[in-house]
Chain A
Amino acid sequence: MADGLGFCDAFRSNVDRQPDAPALVWHDQETTYGELFDLADQARARLAQLDLGPDEPVGVLATKSPADKFVAHPQGRDDRCYFRTGDLVRRDAQGRVFLVGRSDFQVKVRGVAINTAEVEQVLLEHPDVLEAAVVARPDPLTGRRLVSAVQRAPSSGLNSLALRAHCARRLPQAAVPATMQIVDEPLPKTSTGKVDRNTVDRLHELSRAKGRLS
């Protein structure tokens, strides 16, 4: 799911073509942020450009996207159907739009807003980490917990204690993954070559099944 539909890839052309693209907009003191919306039919057309094949896009949208991806105009300006791209953007005073990240990676853990992609980035900054993946999973007690998996460099002997210390120096406490799995093999990939975060979750369940945790 987290790998989504690749709208980030199409972002540049999207913005060039639609400088006034509707967005779910919020403000902080100086900057306007928003999540980009796209007309549903244009979203399908764009998917077609993303090597999904001419007949596939609609089906892909239907199977991969929850219903809440298709919504009305965020400000109710017209009656057309819009597609939430999940691209988080920033609009400056001149109206230029900059890509900030993906809403897929935005989660709240114990009341703290966390971008899991950022946590992955911090893990990757450790010299002994080759690959990293972070997902938020439901937790019966805390609502959500972060589960991470990393591939360590051969013979580095990296353990979760060292990795935790590394994260704690760079992240707020709630953003330090509750579960750290460290493996020597490359992490499983999706067909597009990205780390398969769903499998990361399964790795976690496997380790639970071995009786290490609660």
Chain B
Amino acid sequence: MSHVDTIKQFVIEEFLPDVSAHELGVDHDLLADGVIDSLGVLKLIAWVEDHFELSVDDTALDPNNFRSILAIDSFIKGSSKPATAGG
């Protein structure tokens, strides 16, 4: 199942309060023009972990996983199996 709408809603509320959903393309590069900076990426990861109840492994802290709505969505899809603690 796609989480595109949920992710988009969060990104807009958190980083682009004056932008409406149809103005933000799902493939818009959020890092290139600073919509989300390095701190924003951390905030986003914290939200992803909390909202989708998955743990983002240190090795997954690649900004490219969070570059666009689509990238975040496919990252969530790929991480849906909860990581085992102490793996």
Contacts and interface: CB of A to CB of B under 8 A. Distances in A.
Interface of A: 141-142, 159-161, 164-165, 167-168, 173, 176, 178, 180, 182, 207, 212-213
10 contacts: A159-B18, A159-B19, A160-B19, A161-B16, A161-B19, A161-B23, A161-B35, A168-B32, A173-B37, A178-B34
Contacts of B18: 159-160, 180, 182
Give the one of B17, B19, B39 with max A CB within 10 A: B17
Contact of A164 (B14, B17, B33): B33
Contacts of B26: none
Contacts, number: 37
Contact of B24 (A161, A173, A176, A207): A161
A188 to B, nearest CB: 19
Contacts of A213: 14, 17
B23 A168 contact: no
Interface residues of B, number: 15
B3 interface: no
A1 B23 CA distance: 37
B28 interface: yes
A182 B32 CA distance: 21
